[in-house]
Amino acid sequence: MKKLFYAFLVMASLVQWVNAQEQNKFRVGLDFGYVMPDGGGGILLAIEPKYNIADNMNVGLRFESAAMAKNVTDSGVTIEADLAASASYLGTFDYYFHNGSSSFSPFAGAGVGYSTLANLSFSDFGDDAEAEVDGKFGGLIRAGFELGKFRVAASYNLIGKTEIEGAEVKNSYLGISLGFYLGGGKWKK
């Protein structure tokens, strides 16, 4: 979490070299990346239609699927669950730090929504070793930069823990993604 905060501070200090999109334009972003849940890893795929409410702000809907393996802790013993996919549906807001001098544009954003969590299975305990997990409301904080139509971002998905028969499952995860977007108007000075 500290690394994400420091990354945000560095990007905020780059204000003099940035630019943003045109107001009242629509765009769609596609992101691919790596996720890091507690003690595991996986991949993510996201699509995010957005509307530019100002030259330096947009709102959107993020649909993300993250396939990952993660740890389950029970009485101090940690067990890794098999790979499973979770999905999240979030309303988002991004703010771009810019002065109109280039196509490099750092941003910070947040979102709130609902995550459907995959059932957990454990191959070490036989075919029937599976636990159902309910969905949770959660949030997202992120920071990154856009260069032209390309995007690099670090996002932290805040999802509450799940208790399964005394075992604790941490559902939050960090995602690092690369992507691009279509539309949004011309980057202008």
For 128-183, write each residue's pLDDT tens digit.
555 566 788 999 999 999 998 899 999 999 998 877 766 677 888 999 999 998 88
Domains of the chain, first to last: 2-183 (2.40.160.20)
DSSP element (H, E) containing 8: helix 2-13
Q: pLDDT tens digit string along 87-119?
A: 999 999 999 997 666 788 899 999 999 998 876
Query: Residues 4-9: contacts with CB within 8 Å, 24+ apart?
Result: 4/141, 4/143, 4/154, 4/156, 4/174, 7/143, 7/154, 8/108, 8/143
pTM: 0.77
**H or E element in which residue 154 lies:** strand 150-159
